[in-house]
Amino acid sequence: MYDPVCKFLAESFATDFATWLLGTPITLTTLSPSELSLEPIRADTLILLQSDDMVLHVEFQTEPKADIPFRMTDYRLRKYRRFPQKRVHQYVIYLKPSDSPLVRETSFILERTRHEFNVIRLWEQPTDVFLNTPGLLPFAILTQTTDKTETLQQVAEKINQINDTRIQSNISASASILAGLVLNKELIQRVLRSDIMRDSVIYQAIEEEARQKGLKEGLKQGLEQGLEQGRREIAINMLVDGLPIETISRVTGLTIEQVQVLQSNMGENP
């Protein structure tokens, strides 16, 4: 859930991210991961933005992972192969506080090979920076703030000041989702207006994903129930033919107890 939100924000408010990470409001456009691919790439967490002479690579992580340094090195080499003249800035941004030493790793070392990248731990970042930029507002709740409820209220006030209703709904929905990492749902709903969120592209995308997941789960459950019913009918036919319970259990995959229940029910309903 959090990956698509972060990706949406970084790509929709690329200039805000460039100003924050690079210190310059550079105009950036999206670079497709497929342009770097020699094999399948983790496009769900990979955000690539580019200008004429630079590539900005950002990865958001909710949990630390041991393979991050290697992945950053792998992506860097892919970029060099595709754009040998472009400067590359790489950032791993951790969303949730962690005591793991992995969130402090900023390099990959293999024998005489060494590659370095930037790491940002949001919980160590000053909150004010995020409250003054629309594209960064949803991340404010994850920063160094000591009063998360008060910060969420400040975020809500800033959102209400946005004149563009489309941007307002997208920021509100994104803030609501990311706040779920550190605050309970009831509090978030009290502070952020749900009526604004429903018009958001990201909110609708997540709703559609949930709906599709529900349909898939329903289909899977239906298939499983159908298979179970089929096994029971086969077992009943085998019982009618007088086959041993152990054999029926082995053939159908039902437990001996389940076959015995079927046998008992047959006796009650001749």
* Residue ranges in the chain assigned as alpha helix (H): 2-12, 14-22, 68-82, 127-131, 148-160, 165-179, 185-191, 194-197, 201-240, 245-252, 256-268
- Rounded average pLDDT over 222-232: 67
- pLDDT, residue 43, reads 53
Query: Taking 80 as the threshold, does the pLDDT of residue 125 lie above it?
Result: yes
> In this structure, what token pair is assigned to residue 163?
């004149």
Query: Taking 90 as the threshold, does the pLDDT of residue 202 lie above it?
Result: no
- pLDDT, residue 110, reads 94
Query: Taking 90 as the threshold, does the pLDDT of residue 230 lie above it?
Result: no
Reported as a single tens digit per residue, the pLDDT across 20-59 is 999 988 888 888 877 776 555 555 567 889 899 999 999 9
Query: Taking 70 as the threshold, does the pLDDT of residue 222 lie above it?
Result: no
Most confident of the ranges 71-85, 202-216, 225-239: 71-85
pLDDT band for position 201 (cuts 50, 70, 90): low
Quote the DSSP letter at residue 104.
G
pLDDT band for position 212 (cuts 50, 70, 90): low
β-strands 118-121, 87-94 pairing: parallel
Reference 175, options 5, 3, 1; nearest CA is 5
Selected residue with higher pLDDT from 247 and 130: 130
Q: Per mean pLDDT, which range of 83-92, 117-126, 241-250 is the poorest?
A: 241-250
**What are the CA-CA distances from residue 267 to residues 6, 240, 247 (Å)?**
61, 11, 19
Q: Is the pTM of this model over 0.75?
A: no
Could you tell me which residues come within 8 angstroms of residue 145 by beta carbon, excluding any fewer than 6 positions away?
127, 151
